[in-house]
Amino acid sequence: MPIPRSLLCGLTNHEEYYSIRAAEASCLELDAPTVGDLLRDVAAHHQDFCGCGAQPGHNVWLSDWIMHDSASTIGVSTSNFKPCALDTRLEDLASWVAAHLDAFHLLVEGIPPTERPVPMPEPEIFRYRGATLIRMPGTTQSLTVLTSDADVDYEATYKLPGRLFVDKSLFVGLHGTNYDKTAWLPVIRRPSGFGKTWFLSLIERFLDIEQYGGPFPSAGFALPVGFTPRLGRTNLVIHMDLEKLCLSPNMSEAELRGVCREFLDKVATDTYLRYSHWLHDADDDRRLESVTFAHLIRLGRRYYRRFFVGVDNYTSPLFDHPASRELFEDVMMSEIFQRVFNLHEGGVVQRGFVVGRDIPDYPWPYDRSASFNDLTVNLCDDFMGYITLGMTEDEIYLLGTTLFGSESPFLRQVREKAGMSDSELEAPTRTGMSYCTRDVMALARALSEPSSRVAAFPTNIAYVKFGDYPRGPPLPDWCYSSVAEDIDEEEFLRLMEEEEQFAMCLPRSPRQSQQ
């Protein structure tokens, strides 16, 4: 029988969640790997990914234990499990794995350390009103995330010692979910440098089924992020970057549709190759080199998997060819977005989030499509959008006091670079303003590292404010409740009151005027 690549192995006497699948083990390269071979990989893997100091022993049990409320295996009794000899071939365990898909198939004795290891230092957390900054422990190598367009990955951010960045984990719950049967996907646009791709990667990491044990820092959640009940890491992530969709005005409509389908199939193959062990039977060692998008969805349905779809740069194909925008929109709607909408309504796509750049003089991309209007939630003009992407004045004030001291004029300097009037320079921090993260961080670096001022000092700082976007219909209640669960009630009410004051004098969008 083939080797069960989905075999899941854990450690007893372990305080936190730990696991390794056979698919991750190097012993699969051997001709006939055994449990003993896997045990050596477990020891190396545990040492690399866990700092608890425990050591795998030589006792191994064939297990059907399923993790429920606790990620700890302390107190789990092995008396009802069958000992497994180290010379047992992994292929001989295929039938057991197939019969216990959701269980830990092997439990290895975990030997606690004789001395408790020195715990990893906790990240520093700085707060001011609704703003939060996180500084990772370790020698400072860089001031912050998103100092350039290259810094777009949340997971890479928290792994850098000393890295200081704005915590946006409070807003992870803004992803659209079909639990309440609304089947709406959130959409937000901002100019370049406001942290759209980085925030999308944040959501993807928080929801990814592969990220159970990641040490994600989060000031927004009381529980470790991997076990937050409201979110749960249960999704296979489909990431679509439409900047990689190459449409040309010289193509016929049929050619454009073919390019969209090829793009979807490439996305599907990338997703499949990452999650193949979640999309096959335990005793099925067949792995495909490529799949179509439809095949990926069929596999998801067959094995009861649910997807998160993150769409990045959803407006990029519309930038360079204004005369072809309507045709491009029609093709992308029918070949890409409508498929995602249908799957979201049907429950296969459980969550999603869509981000993209603003298009000058084109305020409502895809607005001609009734499906896009009906099945998305526009966050561009709502206060949620202004505090989710970019940096608020509270966050800028907090960054300044954290870096330069309580009397820092950093907020004033940012306002000067943004071209504010004299009366605005000394005003208290305001809601409804969102500044370009990349520009603000460039200024912070230039002020704190004098040697870099000439190269990095920004000549101006971009910002958006209430009223810059046509105001759409009110957001559904879940957008607010997803954040209200984790934010201080007094702070949340203050934000809502300020939003209502701004909203009274804002222009309405064509869609809302018709309601």
CA 34 – CA 153 distance, rounded (Å): 37
Measured from the Cβ of residue 370, the count of other Cβ atoms closer than 10 Å reads 9
Token output for 176: 């659209």
Tell me if residue 133 falls in helix, strand or coil: strand
CA 479 – CA 472 distance, rounded (Å): 14
- Determine phi and psi for 477, rounding to 5 degrees: -60, -30
> Alpha helix locations (H) across 276-337?
293-302, 325-332
Q: Are 165 and 133 in contact (CB under 8 A)?
A: yes
Q: What is the pLDDT of residue 179?
A: 41
Token output for 499: 């939003």
Q: What is the pLDDT of residue 217?
A: 53
Q: Are 139 and 68 in contact (CB under 8 A)?
A: no
pLDDT in tens, the chain (515 residues): 788 888 999 999 988 888 888 888 888 888 899 999 999 989 888 877 776 778 899 999 999 998 765 678 888 889 989 999 999 999 999 999 989 888 899 999 999 887 765 666 778 889 998 888 888 777 654 444 434 455 678 877 777 777 788 888 878 776 654 444 445 788 999 999 999 999 999 888 888 877 644 445 554 433 333 333 344 456 899 999 999 999 999 999 999 999 999 999 999 999 999 888 788 765 555 678 899 999 999 998 888 788 999 999 999 999 989 999 999 999 999 999 999 998 887 888 888 899 999 998 888 899 888 888 888 888 888 778 888 999 999 999 999 999 899 999 999 999 999 999 988 898 888 888 899 998 998 898 888 776 654 455 667 899 998 878 876 666 656 555 555 444 454 554 555 555 444 444 333 333 333 33
H/E run at residue 339: helix 338-346
Q: What is the pLDDT of residue 152?
A: 76
Q: Given its phi and psi angles, is residue 232 left (phi above 0), alpha (psi -120 to 50 degrees) or beta?
A: left
Q: How far is CA 238 from CA 227, 268, 355, 432, in A?
A: 21, 7, 14, 32
